[in-house]
Amino acid sequence: MSVADTAEKIKNMEIRGAGKIARSAAGALSDYSAEIAAGDIQLKDYLQRMHDAGDILKGTRPTAVSLPNAVNIVLRGVDAEKSVADADTLLRKNASEFIENSKLAIQNIADIGARYIKDGDTVMTHCNSDAAISCMLKAHEQGKEFEVFATEVRPRNQGYLTIKTLSDAGIKTNFIVDSAVRYFMKKVSLVITGCDAVTVNGAVINKIGTSQIALCAQEARVPFIVAGETYKFAPRTVMGGHIDIEERDASEIMPAEKAALLKNVTIRNPAFDVTPAEYIDYIITEKGAIPPAMAYLVIREYLGWDIGEFDTIRNRS
């Protein structure tokens, strides 16, 4: 798919989920590289166009760190190549490795996460996370008997995708509105969510509503675990950078004609919130379950200092 089409689909959430947007950005950069490298192009122009394409993709949704991390991983080392052919080969190798590794990561997370689910458990989840759902599907495959409470996830209703997947797999699932979380928490033995970003202090940024679920879980002494690949950790936060919380269009909440009748109302639509580390028991990554306080080590060991998120100034003359 072209970079422009991919960017548009990520923006309008036809492609959504932190992992999927990262893989589709990697795929779009790979296709674009193959296309322009096949033409008559100078190395300098090739690099400029690839970085510009990366910037377009990074600019589509601001919160999920998987997206800039994926773009930076795909572009890693490309500026040092001496020919367009070599740069294109490296870029496409980076992209296919990233896509492959990110799929393998989900399988590892599933294996680890499934161990937290026991016979007789009631698991609550929020939004639609491949990483979190993979843990439930794996536990089900292993023959464990448990049921799930899944939230609706206003305003985009990603909860429907979750209950469809769980129901198709044969997992007994309860569908609840977002505001029913505390009411049902006393029946829940474990909460599992995904994540869009993890900061160096172990805070998790995930779909709006996650932090109040974590608060309810803590009040009820219910373990709260997060499933997330290492490329969702945010290197920029080591250097004092912040994660911007995306605020989406008000029309997702109320049709514009209806909103226009309300003269003194501002409709706010933040897509994500921040759950502090103290509400999180474990983050399940493909490298193992870590306490959130270990986020720095994940950034250092698995993303490396050369990922590019530290240094946005590109040195290409």
Residue 17 interacting with ligand RI2 (CB under 6 A): yes
Interface segment toward ligand RI2; rule CB under 6 A; list 12-20, 113-121, 234-242, 277-285:
12-20
- Cα–Cα distances (Å) from 141 to 26, 110, 138, 174, in that order, read 31, 11, 5, 19
Binding mask 266-295 for ligand RI2 (x = CB under 6 A): -----x------------------------
Strand partners, 123: 148, 190
- The torsion of the CA quartet 101, 103, 105, 108, rounded to 10 degrees, works out to -130
Q: 205-224: which residues touch ligand RI2 (CB under 6 A)?
A: 206-207
Q: 19-48: which residues touch ligand RI2 (CB under 6 A)?
A: 19
Q: How far apart are CA 206 and CA 247, in angstroms?
A: 13
Q: Is 88 a catalytic residue?
A: no
- Cα–Cα distances (Å) from 11 to 5, 16, 21, 181, 248, in that order, read 10, 9, 10, 29, 10
Residue 248 interacting with ligand RI2 (CB under 6 A): no
3 state DSSP class of 275? strand
Strand partners, 226: 193, 283
Q: What are phi and psi of 242, to 5 degrees?
A: -115, 165
- The amino acid at 179: S
Is 62 or 223 the residue whose CB approaches ligand RI2 more closely?
62
Q: Which of 88, 130, 196, 281 is catalytic?
A: 196
Q: Is 273 a catalytic residue?
A: no
| In the complex, least distance from residue 288 CB atom to ligand RI2, rounded to whole angstroms | 17
Is 196 or 309 the residue whose CB approaches ligand RI2 more closely?
196
Given the rule CB under 6 A, which residues bind ligand RI2?
A: 16-19, 127, 129-131, 158, 193-194, 196, 206-207, 271
